């Protein structure tokens, strides 16, 4: 059975999706950044790519309010799994 080698960026995206998969709640950008050990700007770049792919999206004000998160915080929600 041949093993598929993923491009580095795909591996990084799968790491982020893995973080979302472990939690059943919207996640702060900073929490994911700390969890995987990247800077905020690098994490944001990966989040932007995942948004373009339709895998995650920004949390709505209602979703943030339901979890008592700050309305202006960078919070994201998993839309689909890889």
The reported pLDDT for the residue numbered 82 is: 47
8-78, CATH topology level: Arc Repressor Mutant, subunit A (1.10.10)
Contact 34/81 with Cβ under 8 angstroms? no
The structure's pTM equals 0.81
Q: Is the pLDDT of residue 2 over 80?
A: no
Helix (H) or strand (E) holding 75: strand 75-78
Question: With contact defined as beta carbons under 8 Å apart, do 67 and 26 qualify?
Answer: yes
pLDDT for res 3? 64
Q: What residue spans define the domains of the chain?
A: 8-78
Mean pLDDT of 55-81: 92
Interval 42-61: pLDDT, tens: 899 899 999 999 999 999 99
């Amino acid at each position: 059975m041949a093993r598929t080698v993923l491009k580095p960026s795909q591996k990084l995206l799968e790491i982020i999706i893995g973080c979302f998969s472990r939690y059943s709640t919207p996640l702060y950008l900073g929490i994911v950044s700390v969890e995987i050990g990247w800077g905020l700007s690098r994490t944001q770049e990966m989040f932007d790519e995942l948004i373009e792919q339709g895998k995650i999206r920004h949390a709505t004000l209602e979703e943030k309010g339901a979890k008592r998160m700050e309305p202006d915080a960078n919070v994201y929600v998993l839309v689909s799994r890889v």
